[in-house]
Amino acid sequence: MFVNKKLFTTALLGLLVTLSIIALILSLVRVEDVSLPPTVQYGMVFDAGSSHTSLFVYEWDSDKQNNTGVVSQTFSCDVQGPGITSYANDPPKAGDSLRECLEEALKVVPAAKQRDVSAYFGATAGMRLLSSAADQVLAEIAKTIQEYPVAFCGAQIITGEEEGAYGWITINYLLESFTKVGGKKHFFGALDLGGASTQISFAPKGSFINWNETSRFMLYGYNYNIYTHSYICYGQNEMWKRLAKELIVESPSSTLVEHPCYPKDYKETISLSSFRTSPCTNQSDPHLPLDDRNVTLEGRSNASGCLVAVRKLFNFSACGQSQDCSFDGIYQPPISGQFFAFSAFYYNFKFLNLTEGQSLATVRETIERFCARTWEDVCFLLWEAMGSFKSKWVGEEDTDVGWTLGYMLNLTNMIPAEAPVRVKAHTPSLWAAAIAFITLTLALGLVALVVLLWTSKQWKRQ
């Protein structure tokens, strides 16, 4: 009896040793190098327009594609208050206005990643029109952002061409023009209407002259050449000011001026001195001294008269017979392809329910009908539409359309990609087998221990 138990114990120990050796071999053989999933990188961009400022946070995987990140918007925040140009007489308030959005943005970025977040502040046409005060405003903004745990990349006024080019990148990125596999890539033109300027950007057919640095860039391993131009003083707000000044100059009355573009029964009183606040309207005119006199603009709901008045703000004769010219003598290669319009273009067309691809004839008819309405009708429509305007891309991602996404995509080319982290690992089948043998070995080890203790007690009793 005792001999049989001894043989059983020896056999059990032998099996235990065998299983241990097998588990050890399985845990060492076929070890492979495995890459861990890429980490997420973050960037934030302030878009400081002439009438408002917004903050956007973007993210992309650190491995990137052909040195360019696949970027998605993860957060946006509208800064409370007017545009930063309004702080020209009190620059510190410009920086303070950003704090709420900065604090909210940092909540969506993991604490361990915050100091690596590239933070950029870009001001557009409104600041281009500002004089010496612009530097003081930007200095206060930089001072404020540097108080937060981010990698501040600078606060500056971007050129109109940069604004246009980055807008073109945004549109074609959202339409997947850069990342489509196979077939000929199709690119869309971009039309951006801001408060102080408007931009046109597109890829013309063939070659064209007047190159500049912002019209050439590389994304996802390919070089792109586009035409882009920014028309300063042709933004929506500045055009309204220029139109008002022109109507006052041509009016026979010095105190009451008919405004064909305003709805009937609407009146607005303005001071002539307000034209001095913008370089677009502060030019001296012998027929209109810019004093402190008030003038009342009275709406007439005259669509055809409005079109005639607006046309006078464009100098089409400056191009002569040139085919490579738009207006004001500005070079522009022949238009080609389809265009996407955003910013104020979108807001206005959305208000008129014209964002579903309607024909140009339908657009003209709708605008003419709207322009014939009275101020009471317009107020009712404004009340219905209040809060519904947001220039966003509706698709798989909720993304604001503008220059900031294009800027961040281009910036990812300059942010080094992180090398993938590699570790030693087994294939799933070998790992499962090794775990099974290790578990069985531990179980048999416990059984052997129990048997040995029991055998030892029996030996002592004998």
Give CA 83 to chain center in angstroms: 18
Structure tokens at 118: 């590239």
Phi first, then psi, for residue 413 (nearest 5°) are -65, -25
Structure tokens at 207: 């070659």
Q: Judge whether 270 and 295 are in contact, CB under 8 Å.
A: yes
How big is the chain, counted in residues?
462
Rounded Cα–Cα distance for residues 300 and 264 (Å): 5
Which residue from 339, 334, 394 is spatially nearest to 164, judged by alpha carbons?
339
Rounded Cα–Cα distance for residues 119 and 155 (Å): 9
Per DSSP, the residues of 116-166 read G-EEEEEE-HHHHS--THHHHHHHHHHHHHTTSSSEEEEEEEPPHHHHHHH
- Residue tagged active-site, from 163, 268, 298, 384: 163
Q: Judge whether 133 and 91 are in contact, CB under 8 Å.
A: yes
Task: Please tell me whether residue 190 adopts helix, strand or coil conformation.
Answer: strand
Q: Mark whether 163 is an active-site residue.
A: yes
Q: What is the 3-state secondary structure (H, E, C) of 357-391?
A: CCCHHHHHHHHHHHHCCEHHHHHHHHHHHCCCCCC
Cα dihedral 254→251→374→387 (10° resolution): -80
Task: Please tell me whether residue 60 adopts helix, strand or coil conformation.
Answer: strand
Which residue from 88, 182, 183, 174 is spatially nearest to 136, judged by alpha carbons?
88
Q: Judge whether 83 and 137 are in contact, CB under 8 Å.
A: no
Structure tokens at 436: 């099974």
Per the annotation, binding residues for ATP are 195-199
* 329 φψ region: left (φ > 0), alpha (ψ -120 to 50), beta (else): left
Residue that is written with structure tokens 């530097």 in the block:
135
| Helices 99-106 and 133-145, packing angle to 10 deg | 30
The dihedral through the CA atoms of 394, 400, 402, 405 has a sign that is negative
Secondary structure element (H or E) that encloses residue 303, with its range:
helix 303-311
Catalytic residues: 163
